[in-house]
Each structure stands twice: as C-alpha cells, then as structure tokens.
Amino acid sequence: MDLASLAANVCRIAMNAGSFLKEERKTFRRENVEEKRAHDYVSYVDKESEKLIVAELSALLPEAGFITEEDSAVYRGEPYCWVVDPLDGTTNYIHDNTPYCVSIALRTKEELLLGVVYDPCRDECFYGWKDGGAYLDGERMRVSDVRQLENAFLMIELPYNSNEYARTGEHLLHSLYGKVGGIRMNGSAALGICYVAAGRLDAWEEAFIGKWDYAAAALLVLEAGGRVTDFYGNDNFIDTHHIIATNGHLHPELQTLIREALPLGM
C-alpha cells in the first residue's frame, strides 16, 4: 500500500468535508442540535459530513471497514479500518466558536497506518503515515524540546463525564496551575494532539474519549518524535479511551500526576 499517495487523497477528502462544515456554519441554527447525553451534542452537520466522508473513503479503499462517531458505517473485521470523526469540536461549532476539525485515520487491528486532521478555521491540514513522518501543509513537524514541567505549555481537557473525572481534573489543575508555563483547553481533542505534534503544545491529556477523537492525531505525534500512551503508560493505546500525548520528555511526570488520581472505573 502506498501510504503517501493514500494520505494525499485523504487530505483532499478531509478538506472537502471541512469546506462543507464551514459553509454550513454560516446558516447554522442551534435548534438543529440533539443532545446524545449531558452536554454532548450532535447535529445534522456531523451526520452529513460523515456520510460524505464515508462515501469517498469507500471508493478510495473498498476493502476497509469503518469506526465512525455517528455510526453511519460499520467495521466487520476487515483487514483495514477507517476511524472517522466528521466534526471534532461539535460544542465549539454549535456555539460559533473555534476550533473544530475533521479527523480521519486508517488502522489495522494492531496499529495506526495513516492520519489526517483538517482545521477549516485556520485552513491547516495535519497529516502523516507510518514511518513516513508528520506534516503540516507540507512542512515536517517535530515535537518540542521542553524538558521541565515548570516550562511546559499544556492542554488539560475536562471530559463530559464529570462525575467520574472530577477528582482527576481537580488534582491535575491543583498540581499544575501556577507551576507550569501555561494551561489551556480548546474543545477539540484531535487538534490539541496535533498541536503537540507541531510543537505548539508540550503535552495533552484527556479521558472518556472515542477512538475517532485521537486516532489520526496520535499517529502524527508518534511520527513527529513524541510519545502517546494510555493513562497507565501502555504504548498499545489504540483501543483505549484515555490518552496522554507529549513531546516524550514530559511523559513520565505527567503520567505520574494522573495516576495519583485516576478516574473512577478506569
């Protein structure tokens, strides 16, 4: 399989979907939103974007199945599987806020092969493939070289599962606030992880997220020289729902902080 050529085609598909998102945002109304669970939203835009992406990816690689956020296609044990988030950052989108993006990954049962994340708000396309590097609009990406947590610029996301995660989130903020270079939240897991790959952030973490949220961007961090694990430090993370992505240097210390207050049921 020519992953470089495939990545170029997936970039085109992601950019087409991103253009659809941006155009629909001009006339979007919040009454079109459904609540999947408390504070977790979906709209016709998510669903239509996913249909467009699935149709084009099916033509591109017919032998692949799908894991998608809105369940418009399924995985039946095919040798390859597309992992698709048609609109990561839905809460931002429905409130006319940024960022939001399209995220597409290709994987086997054991490993990630390809990742593309397109941000229509900044017209930036992050992409890469296994053993081929990670890129932003054609320029090679590398993670940062920050080695001390006190100098780190971090993204600490707070998931919807507040009952299970409150203790962990409070512990992280208490441990890091005022003691690191900066803490941010942006509401898009895919882009937050991409920013680690691009060196814009030094570390990122979140729990209770789907494969579609992190699969594409996680590959980019690995290809950019960083590290991605689950909260327990396992490098085989592709079927988990709790992720740490860092430049590598900060990984042990951040993982230790998380393990001091792991989320309930994890």
**pLDDT tens track for 227-241:** 999 999 999 999 999
Q: Give residue 239's pLDDT.
A: 93
Q: Give residue 36's pLDDT.
A: 63
The predicted model gives 177-198 an average pLDDT of 97
**More confident site: 72 or 149:** 149
The predicted model gives 3-27 an average pLDDT of 96
Least confident of 62-76, 165-179, 201-215: 62-76
Q: Give residue 233's pLDDT.
A: 95
Peptide bond into 99 cis (omega under 30): yes
Structure tokens at 76: 């039946």
Q: Give residue 41's pLDDT.
A: 60
How remote is the C-alpha of 173 from its chain's centroid? 21
Q: Is the pLDDT of residue 39 over 70?
A: no
Q: Strand 203-207 relative to strand 182-184: parallel, antiparallel, unpaired?
A: unpaired
Q: Give residue 265's pLDDT.
A: 73
Phi and psi at residue 238, in whole multiples of 5°? -70, -10
Q: Give residue 176's pLDDT.
A: 96
The predicted model gives 245-261 an average pLDDT of 96
Average pLDDT along the chain: 93
Q: What angle do CA 93, 96, 99 make, to 5 degrees?
A: 55
In angstroms, the Cα distances linking 155 to 24, 45, 115, 177 are: 29, 27, 21, 12
**What is the set of domains in the chain, with CATH numbers?**
3-140 (3.30.540.10), 149-259 (3.40.190.80)
The predicted model gives 202-225 an average pLDDT of 97
Percentage of the chain modeled with pLDDT above 70: 96
Q: Which amino acid is at 88?
A: D
Q: Give residue 56's pLDDT.
A: 96
3-state SS of the chain is CCHHHHHHHHHHHHHHHHHHHHHHHCCCCHHHEEEEECCEEEEHHHHHHHHHHHHHHHHHCCCEEEEECCCCCCCCCCCEEEEEEEEECHHHHHCCCCCCEEEEEEECCCCEEEEEEEECCCCEEEEEECCCEEEECCEECCCCCCCCHHHCEEEECCCCCHHHHHHHHHHHHHHHCCCCCEEECCCCHHHHHHHHHCCCCCEEEEECCCHHHHHHHHHHHHHCCCEEECCCCCCCCCCCCEEEEECCCCHHHHHHHHHCCCCCCC
Least confident of 69-83, 142-156, 172-186, 243-257: 69-83
